[in-house]
Chains A and B, each alone.
Chain A
C-alpha cells in the first residue's frame, strides 16, 4: 500500500506541474483561473492523501479549508475580472 501511496503522490505532483505550466502559459486570464481552480482541487486531494499516509487525520481539516477557499477565490476572482472587463 505504501508504494501505491507514493506513486499516487508523485502522479498528483506531475499533474500539478502540468496545471502550473498552463497557469504560467495562459494565454487568457480564464486559462489561468481554470488552472488555479484545478490546482486547488489537486491540493485538497494531496493533503487528504498525506494525512492518511502520515497518520495525521487532522490534515483533513486543512483539506476542507482548501476546498472552501478554493471555490470562494475562484468565484470572487471571476466576478472581479468580469467587472473590470465590463467597465472597460
Chain B
C-alpha cells in the first residue's frame, strides 16, 4: 500500500515539475506579454495542485495531520489568489494600452486574456 502511495506521489510530483518547467520555458520564450501570461498563469494553478497533492499523500502516509491541514489551506488560498493575480496583471496591462500581438496591422478588439 505504502509503495503504491509513494509511486502515486512521485508521479504527481514529476508531473507538477514537468508542468512548472514548461510554463517557465513559455514565460521565457513566448514573444509577447499576453502569450507569456497565458503560459505562466494557468500552469501556476495546475503546478500548485499537483505538487500539493503529492505532498498531501506524503503527509497522509506519515500521519502528519496538521501539516496536511496547512497544505490544504495553502492550496485553497493559491487556488483563489493565483488566478486573481494573473487576471489583475493582464487587465492592468490591457488598460494601459498593451495589446495582444497579431500579424495584421490593425489589431482587432482582442478578448482580454486573463486566467
Contact = CB atoms under 8 A, between A and B. Distances in A.
A adjacent to B, CB under 8 Å? yes
The main secondary structure of chain A at its interface with chain B is helix
Report whether over half of chain B's contact residues are helix, strand or loop; otherwise say mixed: helix
Contact of B28 (A21, A33, A42): A21
Contact of A7 (B17, B44, B70): B17
Contacts of A81: 92
A4 B28 contact: no
B113 interface: no
Q: In which size bucket is the chain A interface? A: 35 or more
Contacts, number: 144
Interface string B63-93: 0101100110110011001101110110011
A2 B70 CA distance: 22
B82 to A, nearest CB: 6
A33 B78 contact: no
Interface of A: 1, 4-5, 7-8, 11-12, 14-19, 21-22, 28, 30-31, 33-35, 37-38, 41-42, 44-45, 48-49, 51-52, 57, 60-61, 63-64, 67-68, 70-71, 74-75, 78, 81-82, 85
Interface of B: 6, 9-10, 13-14, 16-18, 20-21, 23-25, 27-28, 33, 36-37, 40-41, 44, 47-48, 51-52, 55, 58-59, 64, 66-67, 70-71, 73-74, 77-78, 81-82, 84-86, 88-89, 92-93, 95-96, 98
